[in-house]
Amino acid sequence: MKLFNSLGRELQEFKSITPNEVKLYTCGPTVYDYSHIGNLRAYVFDDTLRRILTNAGYNVKHVMNITDVGHLVSDDDQGDDKLEKGALREQKTVSEVADFYIKAFENDISLLNILEPNAYKGPHGKYARATDFIDQQIEIVKLLFEKDIAYRTKQAIYFNTSKLPDYGKLTEQKLDDKEVAARAEVVSDDQKENPQDFALWFFTVERFANHSLHWNSPWGEGFPGWHLECSAIIHATLGEPIDIHTGGVDHIGTHHTNEIAQSEAAFDVKLANYWLHNEHLLVNGRKMSKSLGNYYRLQDVIDKDIEPLALRLLFLQSHYRTQTNFTWDSLEASAKFLKRIQSWSDLSFQIDSSIQKASLNDIEDALRDDLNTPLALSRLSSIISDKNNTPDHEFLVKLDAVLGLELSNRLDLSDEDKKLIVDRTRARKNQDWSESDKIRDLLLEKSIELNDSQDRTIWSRV
Ligand code: AMP
Ligand code: ZN
């Protein structure tokens, strides 16, 4: 199996640390607002990766976090905490805001048929919440102090990036002068030693004096910096090194760079062997984002009577490493394509199901080549177009395992109705038109309509 590793920026043959096992960590949502469908593209990518690894024979141990504290409005140390802002906006407590949007997130995830993480079970369920790992985050800061890599100012504890020779290895570039200058302009803590140093712990003083979430630490009351939670959660759940770490491309420069710095400095071990990043979903050529206001939610899709799995299919129709411009027309086209796949799948109980064995292999080959989902889908489309192919149940189950399109279990027909349809197909083959019409009328009385084309009969509920 080949994967494109951001660390080294090349396509690499995937090798797991332990045979037949993959430790997978995927960065999750910051729960101060609804997820937009750009975020959902990231989670569909994670899920597809996990399904393909499982299909390739790996036991995938998957952990995902939920950020419920510490993510400032910028991805670095500027601005307010997003959760605190959400609470102020909605006149609720931070934990009420988090609980509300976690529910909304879990609902989206289930509508898109995304599998829940399977390698962590905590007080709040299967997602690892940052606030359930405060002690572990403090432990990392302790280790960094012992190694003389952390230092404190009045406002915060920082990671001293100048102490790490390979800081920034994920971006393969040292922070150039321009970037440093840009950051220096917004640095609000003049005791910070290097502009690219990042906060491990904020004290509840000055601009954060009224921060509602805060914990005791050996250095004073405060709350953790955003990047620390992922390092702590990985250490506590999967253990370093992990095989694969994912996130959107916007995480490469700051969040993932800082996660690597913290974990590798604290534990003297590589954090992750493979870093995979999904490209952005765009609207009119610009990244879909909260701050630009150019976003849609899954609810907007549902309100247009488009089923959520059409969105999943739309994401799969472009490669995860290409930017994709979202339009409603393209989503409508995916909905049509989905209907075509579904109608074909619904033939699976017919008497003479036949599908060439090579078909599934061709699809799997495409998927194992750095998740080439567009190629896999075009192969599926050719299979469907070939009138010699009618699916069997087993084929659909295998397809579902990798694509997650719920093709194998959508058939809500009773065995009796299935038998009637099969009998009618047989009658038509034998040119017994009166028998065939009789069965069709019988089914219509049960609100099942049959539509014959040259080579197949499609049924639908009316
Ligand atoms: P956040 O809740 O902001 O931490 O983002 C959650 C995930 O969505 C991260 O992996 C981001 O990189 C990703 N993401 C944010 N915006 C987009 C977008 N427009 N397209 C694809 N992924 C995105
Ligand atoms: Zn993370």
Please give the number of the atom of ligand 1 that sits closest to the Cα of 247: 10
Report the residue among 33, 246, 250 best suited for mutation to probe ligand 1: largest number of ligand atoms under 8 A from its CB. 250
pLDDT at 266: 98
pLDDT at 173: 58
Q: How far, in Å, from the CA of 27 to the mean position of ligand 2?
A: 4
Q: How far, in Å, from the CA of 65 to the mean position of ligand 2?
A: 7
pLDDT at 244: 98
pLDDT at 45: 98
Please give the number of the atom of ligand 1 that sits closest to the Cα of 287: 19
Residue with CA at minimum distance from ligand 1 atom 21: 280
Q: Is the CB of 37 under 6 A from ligand 1?
A: no
pLDDT at 246: 98
What is the residue whose two structure tokens read 């910096």? 225
Distance separating alpha carbons of residues 332 and 304, to the nearest angstrom: 10
Ligand nearest to the CA of 262: 2
pLDDT at 291: 86
Query: pLDDT under 70 in the chain at which residues?
Result: 173-187, 351
pLDDT at 181: 43
Ligand nearest to the CA of 292: 1
Q: How far, in Å, from the CA of 14 to the mean position of ligand 1?
A: 25
Give the closest residue to 201 by CA, choosing from 184, 216, 180: 216
Q: Is the CB of 39 under 6 A from ligand 1?
A: yes
Q: Is the CB of 38 under 6 A from ligand 1?
A: yes
- Residue 451's SS3 state is strand
Please give the number of the atom of ligand 1 that sits closest to the Cα of 282: 19
279: CB partners within 8 A, 6+ apart: 248, 249, 320, 321, 322, 323, 324
What is the residue whose two structure tokens read 């002690």? 135
Distance separating alpha carbons of residues 10 and 284, to the nearest angstrom: 29
Whether 87 contacts 212, CB under 8 Å: yes
pLDDT at 141: 98
Whether 278 contacts 42, CB under 8 Å: yes
Please give the number of the atom of ligand 1 that sits closest to the Cα of 280: 20
Please give the number of the atom of ligand 1 that sits closest to the Cα of 27: 10
Beta bridge partners of 272: 242
pLDDT at 178: 33
- Residue 42's SS3 state is helix
Distance separating alpha carbons of residues 395 and 401, to the nearest angstrom: 10
Token duo for residue 369? 């080549």
Beta bridge partners of 157: 152, 201
